């Protein structure tokens, strides 16, 4: 009985934390509740986020708002063609006073890194970012330096129609747990933004909700979400369908299957459950799958990929999972 009460109280507390985080972030970003919620799910799942948007829609503001709600150290790096890998990872330099080489940390050494306009920089710099996203560490001159935990990358990229952009390689796209888009605000929300910015900065009003340590504890609880065997099979059936679909040239890899599982577990956790349901998977499936799929005969495939994922969700039988 005591364990049950403790568990119930813990569920209540974590739901309140998420609600309060949403409330605080909404002070700075109006009318984007669904996107903010999914970004928080990705953070709970321990993944990195790719935001694909035009400049000026609030991506930087969103990252700063998240860092303030969780008291995370936050850095921003503007990716341009002249940014070097060492700007991200750091570098060693000779110190004459001590006659030793000293490591100078790069922008990656923080809890939350906002990598702005990632698809404008060189392949070498993108590769440097790729390593730290995958390994959670930077290796320099044979020495490995662990990044602070939690370590979250929120990367933004402009649409490929913008000047100076290039496509990210598939290997790097696959490292992002989800791809999301804020989009332009509705007129009423843009009016609210203008009024809020007239005499103050909404970021100054955001209050801390939790700590980095509490976030790590929540991530541990997300990992313990129960998954029935039928749900495992459902996830595999969805990924298999992408590999056999006539419009998809490159389907979802096993890494994509793992990403769908992790994101879905975070969704279940946010709903106050300790078990996974098919609805959790359907809610996040397109956000996990679309940027990982390569379609035949199209350059800008975002909308088409969304339609294909919805078609797959309708065609694959949904199991009756046991909680």
Higher pLDDT, 98 or 35: 35
Q: Cα(230)–Cα(4) distance, rounded to whole angstroms?
A: 26
**Which of 182, 197, 223 corresponds to the end of one domain?**
223
Looking at the fold, whether 316 and 169 belong to one and the same domain comes out as no
**Which of 189, 223, 257 corresponds to the end of one domain?**
223
| Least confident interval from 134-148, 165-179, 216-230 | 165-179
Mean pLDDT of 167-189: 84
* CATH number, residue 132: 3.40.50.300
* CATH number, residue 234: 1.10.8.80
Looking at the fold, whether 240 and 258 belong to one and the same domain comes out as yes
Looking at the fold, whether 253 and 145 belong to one and the same domain comes out as no
Mean pLDDT of 274-287: 95
Looking at the fold, whether 62 and 195 belong to one and the same domain comes out as yes
Looking at the fold, whether 93 and 144 belong to one and the same domain comes out as yes
Looking at the fold, whether 151 and 292 belong to one and the same domain comes out as no
Q: Residue 118: its pLDDT value, please?
A: 85
**What pTM did the predictor assign?**
0.89
Looking at the fold, whether 80 and 196 belong to one and the same domain comes out as yes
Looking at the fold, whether 282 and 311 belong to one and the same domain comes out as yes
Looking at the fold, whether 42 and 93 belong to one and the same domain comes out as yes
Q: Residue 203: its pLDDT value, please?
A: 85
Q: What is the pLDDT of residues 133-170, one digit of tens each?
A: 888 888 887 888 899 999 999 988 876 555 556 677 77
Domain with 269 in it: 225-323
């Amino acid at each position: 009985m005591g364990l049950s009460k403790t568990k119930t109280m813990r569920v209540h507390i974590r739901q309140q934390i998420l609600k309060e985080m949403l409330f605080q972030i909404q002070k700075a970003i109006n009318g984007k509740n669904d996107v903010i919620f999914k970004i928080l799910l990705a953070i709970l799942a321990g993944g990195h986020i790719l935001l694909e948007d035009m400049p000026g829609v609030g991506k930087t503001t969103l990252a700063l708002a998240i860092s303030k709600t969780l008291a995370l150290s936050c850095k921003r790096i503007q990716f341009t063609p002249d940014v070097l890998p060492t700007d991200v990872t750091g570098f060693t330099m000779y110190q004459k006073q001590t006659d030793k080489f000293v490591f100078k940390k790069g922008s990656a050494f923080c809890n939350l890194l906002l990598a702005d306009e990632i698809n404008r920089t060189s392949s070498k710099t993108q590769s440097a970012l790729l390593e730290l996203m995958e390994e959670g560490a930077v290796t320099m001159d044979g020495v490995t330096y662990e990044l602070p935990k939690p370590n979250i990358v929120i990367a933004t990229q402009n649409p490929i129609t913008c000047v100076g952009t290039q496509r990210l390689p598939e290997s790097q796209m696959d490292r992002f747990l989800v791809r999301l888009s804020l989009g332009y605000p509705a007129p009423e929300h843009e009016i609210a933004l203008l009024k809020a910015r007239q005499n103050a900065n909404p970021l100054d009003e955001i209050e801390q909700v939790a700590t980095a340590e509490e976030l790590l504890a929540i991530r541990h609880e997300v990992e313990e979400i129960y998954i029935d065997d039928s749900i495992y099979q459902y996830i595999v059936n969805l990924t298999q369908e992408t590999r056999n679909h006539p419009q998809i040239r490159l389907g979802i890899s096993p890494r994509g299957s793992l990403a769908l599982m992790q994101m879905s577990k975070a969704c279940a956790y946010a709903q106050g459950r300790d078990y996974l349901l098919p609805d959790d998977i359907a809610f996040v499936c397109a956000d996990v799958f679309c940027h990982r799929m390569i379609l035949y005969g199209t350059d800008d495939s975002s909308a088409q990929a969304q339609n294909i994922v919805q078609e797959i969700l309708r065609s694959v039988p949904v199991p009756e999972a046991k909680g």
